[in-house]
Amino acid sequence: MDESGVLHFDPSQPFFTIGALIIEDTLDIVQEMSYVKRHAVAATGNKGKSFEFKFKKITRLSRPYYERLIDLVDFYHPRINLVVVDKTTAPNDYVRRFPYAWDAYVEIARLVVQEAVNEDSECVVIADFVQKPHLSHAYLEPRLKSLPQVRNATMLESHASMMIQLIDILTGCVVYHHRIKKFPGIRKDPEKLRVSNFLAERLGLDSLAAEIKLERPFPFQVQWYNP
C-alpha cells in the first residue's frame, strides 16, 4: 500500500489517494523489477543504493523504465485498488469526524483493504511508512489486523520495498490524471504525463480520472471516497 498527497488542507494537493497492490506471489515480479532497476540506474547515472522508483521523480532518462514496470503489472496481473479523496468538492466529513488527518488516513486505508481482499481470503499488508502524530491514539497496524482477511500488517520505508514503489507509480498516475481533469490549465510535466497516459492506454481508457472497475487486462479499480 502507498498514499499520494495529504489529507489536511493544502491547495497545491487537491487529491489524496491510497492504493493497494494485491498479489499472490511476489518472487518473480520483484526479480524482474530488480532487473529493470539495474538498467534504470545505469541509464540515469544514479548510484544503485540511492535510486528509487517514485512517480514524482520521473525524468526523461528514467521514464522508459517506469513504463517497463507497468508492462510487468500487465504481465503478472496483480489486483490494483485505489480510493481517491477529492478535497475540493467532497464534503469534509472526515475532518469533522476525526481529530487528526492521520485518523482519517487509517480509516481510508482500512477501507482500501476491505474493498480489495475478500473476507474468505488472507493477506499480509505492507504499507508505506507514514509518521503517526504523537497525540493520536489510532494505530494503522492493529486497525488493519482487526479485519478478518488481514493476517498481519506492517509499515516499511518505500526504498526497502519494490512493491511499495510499484503501487506509488500506479497511484501517482491516477492522481496526475485527476489533477489535469480538475485543472486543465495547469503546467504539465511531459514525462509524468507520458507515463500516466501509458497506463491508461494499457487499460484501454482515455483517462484515469474516473471511477473505474476493470478485470481486464488486469484487475484495476478506482473509487471515490464518500464519507
Q: Which helix (H) or strand (E) holds 49?
A: none
Q: What is the pLDDT of residue 45?
A: 83
Only one residue has cell 485518523, namely: 103
Q: Which of 13-17, 44-48, 83-87, 125-129 has the lowest mean pLDDT?
A: 44-48
Q: What is the pLDDT of residue 133?
A: 85
Asked if pLDDT for residue 24 goes beyond 60, the answer is yes
- List the alpha helices (DSSP H) in the chain: 27-44, 63-76, 93-97, 101-116, 140-145, 162-182, 190-202
Asked if pLDDT for residue 217 goes beyond 70, the answer is yes
Tell me the three cell numbers of residue 18: 491510497
- Average pLDDT over every residue of 114-134: 91
CATH number at residue 164: 3.30.420
Tell me the three cell numbers of residue 203: 487499460
Residue among 14, 48, 17 at smallest CA distance from 183: 14
Structure confidence by residue, pLDDT tens digits, 143-166: 999 999 999 999 999 999 999 999
Quick one: what percent of the chain has pLDDT higher than 90?
Answer: 70
Q: Using CB atoms within 10 Å of the CB of residue 80, give its burial: 0 to 12 exposed, 13 to 18 middle, 19+ buried.
A: buried
Question: Taking the CB of residue 179, how many other CB atoms lie within 10 A of it?
Answer: 19
Domain limits for position 101:
2-224
Tell me the three cell numbers of residue 35: 532487473
Structure confidence by residue, pLDDT tens digits, 178-197: 999 998 999 999 999 999 99
Cα separation, 86 vs 124, in Å, equals 28
State the DSSP string of 198-216.
Answer: HHHHHTT-S-SSS-EEE-S
Cα separation, 148 vs 177, in Å, equals 34
- Average pLDDT over every residue of 79-105: 78
Q: What is the pLDDT of residue 14?
A: 82
Q: Are 153 and 122 in contact (CB under 8 A)?
A: no
Q: How many structural domains comprise the chain? A: 1
Q: How does residue 227 score in pLDDT terms, banded at 50, 70 and 90? A: low
Residue 51 CA from chain centroid, whole number: 19
Q: What is the pLDDT of residue 85?
A: 87
More confident call, 6 vs 121: 121
Q: What is the pLDDT of residue 204?
A: 97
Cα separation, 60 vs 76, in Å, equals 26
Structure confidence by residue, pLDDT tens digits, 26-79: 999 999 999 999 999 999 887 656 789 999 999 999 999 999 999 999 999 999
